[in-house]
C-alpha cells in the first residue's frame, strides 16, 4: 500500500455495535488503546430488539449498566409463546442458572448509540462513516485499508483486529472465510408500529412469539417498547412468501390476518412505518480466528432470530475475546481455538439445537405442553434467558438428546 498515510493502532475493532462497543470498552478498562472503525453514522436502524438476560452480565462488566438502566428502555422479564388457544410464558426470574432475572427490549438505534457513547466516554476512539475495504494478514502484522466518507484512504498497521461488523461480515468477505449455513433460507418481513395494545392477555414485560395456526414453521415476533410502539415481524421459509403480496406492508398484514390470536392483540395498531425485509441471514465461517484476528457475533455466525440469541452471542464473544486478547498482550501464550472458538461454539450449538427443534416442531411441543415440571421449565427458561453456556444445566450439556427425550415424553402424554 505505497504512498498513503499509515497509522499504527495496537487494537482495531471493526464495527461499533454491541459486540464492538463491549469488546473495545473491556480492553480499554484493562489499559489498552483501542480504535473502532464504523461504516455507518449512529444512530442507525438495526434489527434484534429483544435482549436476553445474559446480556446484562456483559453490560455490567463493561461498566455501562447504570446508563442502560437510566435510559428508560422497556423492562423484560421473560418470553411468552402463543399458538391458537395455547399460551405458555417463561419467567427469567425462575431459571436453573440463577442468572439476571430481567433485561430490556430496546430500539436498537438508541441502544447501540448508548453503548457506543459509553465506550467513547471510557476512552475508546470511534471513527464513524469509515470502512475497511481491504485486509492483508500475510505479513508480520495485520495491514488494513480504510476509506473515509470523503473517499480518502489510509492504512492501518494493527497489532490485532476484532471483527464486530455484524451482518457486514467484513473479514469473512475480505479473507474468503465465509461458509454456507446448514439452515434453510428463511425470510423476515418486519416493521415498527404504534401498537395501542389493550388485549388483557398481553404482557408488555415479555416478548411474544406467535406460531402461525396452520404452518408451524411460520412465526411472529411482537416486541413492545416503552414508548407505546413495538417491533413486529414474521419469519418463514422462502417458499411461504411465493404467493404473498410483493408489497411488504400488505404481506405482513396478510400474515397477521391469518393468525387470529395475534390479529386480536394488534386490533388497534397504527401501521405507520414502511415494512422492511431481510432474507438468507443465517451465516457461518470456516474459522472464528486466525493470526492477528478474531470474529465476534454475527460477523462469525448467525443462526436465526427466533430466540433473540444474536446480541447475546455477540456480547459473549466480545467478553471472551477481550479477556483472551488482554492475556495475549500481557505476554501469555493463549490458544484461540481451545479458549475462544471451542467454548463459544458450545453455547452457539445449544441455541442451534433449540432453533432446529423449534422448526421441526419438537421444541414447540415442549413449550406448549401443559404438564411440564417446574424444574424442567426452569432449565428451559435458563436457555431462553441466554444462559446457553451453563453446562450444569442438563438441557445445555446434552441439548439434542435431552430435547429429543423430552419431546417424546410430551408427545406420548399428549396422545
**Tens-place pLDDT, residues 188-200:** 999 999 999 999 9
Mean pLDDT score of the chain: 95
User: Which strands, in side-by-side order, build the sheet including 78-83?
Assistant: 86-91, 78-83, 206-211, 219-224, 229-237, 186-194, 276-279
Q: Is the pLDDT score of 378 beyond 60?
A: yes
15 backbone φψ class: left, alpha, beta (φ>0; ψ -120 to 50): left
Indicate the range of 146-150, 164-168, 230-234 predicted with least confidence: 164-168
The single residue listed with the C-alpha cell 438441557 is 395
- SS3 call for 365: helix
- SS3 call for 305: coil
Per-residue pLDDT, averaged over 217-243, amounts to 95
Q: Provide the 10 A C-beta neighbour count for residue 38.
A: 25
Phi, psi of 278 (to 5 degrees): -145, 140
Of 338 and 372, the structure prediction assigns the larger pLDDT to: 338
pLDDT at 162: 98
**Per residue, what are the HEC states of 200-241?**
CCCCCCEEEEEECCCCCCCEEEEEECCCCEEEEEEEEEHHHH
Per-residue pLDDT, averaged over 361-388, amounts to 93
Q: How many residues does the chain have?
A: 415
Give residue limits of the domains in the chain: 6-76+99-180+282-346, 186-279, 363-414
State percent of the chain over pLDDT 70.
Answer: 99
Could you please state the CATH topology (level 3) that the domain comprising 6-76+99-180+282-346 is classified under. Answer: FAD/NAD(P)-binding domain (3.50.50)
Phi, psi of 69 (to 5 degrees): -65, -30
Q: Which of 227, 222, 258 is nearest to 240 (CA)?
A: 258
Per-residue pLDDT, averaged over 69-73, amounts to 98
- Cβ atoms of residues 403 and 354 within 8 Å: yes
233-282 pLDDT tens trace: 999 998 999 989 999 999 999 999 999 999 999 999 999 999 999 987 77
Of 262 and 302, the structure prediction assigns the larger pLDDT to: 262
Per-residue pLDDT, averaged over 66-81, amounts to 98
- Cβ atoms of residues 71 and 110 within 8 Å: yes
Indicate the range of 30-34, 81-85, 295-299, 378-382 predicted with least confidence: 295-299
Class of domain 186-279: alpha beta
Q: Is the pLDDT score of 14 beyond 90?
A: yes
pLDDT at 1: 44
Separation CA 213–CA 83 (nearest Å) = 6
Separation CA 122–CA 353 (nearest Å) = 38
pLDDT at 411: 82
pLDDT band at 414 (very low <50, low <70, confident <90, very high): low
Amino acid at each position: 500500500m505505497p504512498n498513503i498515510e499509515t497509522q499504527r493502532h495496537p487494537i482495531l475493532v471493526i464495527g461499533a455495535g454491541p459486540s464492538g462497543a463491549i469488546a473495545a470498552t473491556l480492553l480499554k478498562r484493562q489499559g489498552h488503546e483501542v480504535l473502532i472503525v464504523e461504516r455507518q453514522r449512529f444512530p442507525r436502524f438495526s434489527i434484534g430488539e429483544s435482549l436476553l438476560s445474559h446480556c446484562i452480565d456483559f453490560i455490567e462488566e463493561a461498566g455501562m449498566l447504570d446508563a442502560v438502566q437510566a435510559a428508560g428502555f422497556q423492562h423484560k422479564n421473560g418470553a411468552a409463546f402463543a399458538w391458537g388457544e395455547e399460551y405458555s410464558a417463561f419467567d427469567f426470574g425462575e431459571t436453573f442458572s440463577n442468572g439476571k432475572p430481567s433485561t430490556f427490549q430496546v430500539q436498537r438505534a438508541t441502544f447501540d448509540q448508548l453503548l457506543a457513547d459509553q465506550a467513547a466516554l471510557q476512552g475508546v476512539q470511534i471513527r464513524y462513516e469509515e470502512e475497511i475495504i481491504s485486509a492483508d494478514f500475510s505479513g508480520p502484522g495485520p495491514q488494513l485499508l480504510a476509506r473515509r466518507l470523503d473517499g480518502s484512504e489510509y492504512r492501518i498497521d494493527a497489532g490485532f483486529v476484532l471483527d464486530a461488523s455484524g451482518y457486514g461480515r467484513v473479514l469473512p468477505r475480505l479473507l474468503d472465510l465465509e461458509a454456507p449455513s446448514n439452515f434453510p433460507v428463511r425470510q423476515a418481513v418486519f416493521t415498527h408500529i404504534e401498537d395501542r395494545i389493550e388485549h388483557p392477555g398481553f404482557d408488555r414485560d415479555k416478548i411474544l412469539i406467535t406460531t402461525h395456526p396452520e404452518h408451524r414453521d411460520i412465526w411472529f415476533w411482537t416486541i413492545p417498547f416503552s414508548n407505546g410502539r413495538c417491533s413486529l415481524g414474521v419469519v418463514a421459509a422462502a417458499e411461504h412468501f411465493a404467493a404473498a403480496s410483493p408489497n411488504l406492508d400488505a404481506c405482513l398484514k396478510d400474515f397477521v390476518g391469518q393468525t387470529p390470536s395475534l390479529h386480536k392483540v394488534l386490533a388497534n395498531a397504527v401501521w405507520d412505518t414502511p415494512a422492511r425485509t431481510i432474507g438468507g441471514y443465517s451465516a457461518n465461517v470456516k474459522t472464528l480466528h486466525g493470526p492477528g484476528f478474531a470474529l465476534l457475533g454475527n460477523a462469525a455466525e448467525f443462526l436465526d432470530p427466533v430466540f433473540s440469541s444474536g446480541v447475546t452471542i455477540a456480547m459473549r464473544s466480545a467478553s471472551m475475546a477481550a479477556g483472551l486478547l488482554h492475556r495475549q498482550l500481557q505476554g501469555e501464550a493463549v490458544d484461540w481455538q481451545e479458549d475462544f472458538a471451542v467454548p463459544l461454539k458450545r453455547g452457539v450449538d445449544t441455541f442451534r439445537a433449540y432453533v432446529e427443534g423449534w422448526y421441526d416442531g419438537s421444541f414447540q411441543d415442549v413449550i406448549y405442553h401443559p404438564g411440564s415440571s417446574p424444574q424442567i421449565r426452569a432449565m428451559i427458561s435458563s436457555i431462553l434467558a441466554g444462559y446457553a453456556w451453563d453446562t450444569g444445566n442438563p438441557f445445555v450439556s446434552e441439548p439434542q438428546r435431552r430435547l429429543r427425550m423430552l419431546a417424546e415424553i410430551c408427545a406420548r402424554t399428549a396422545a
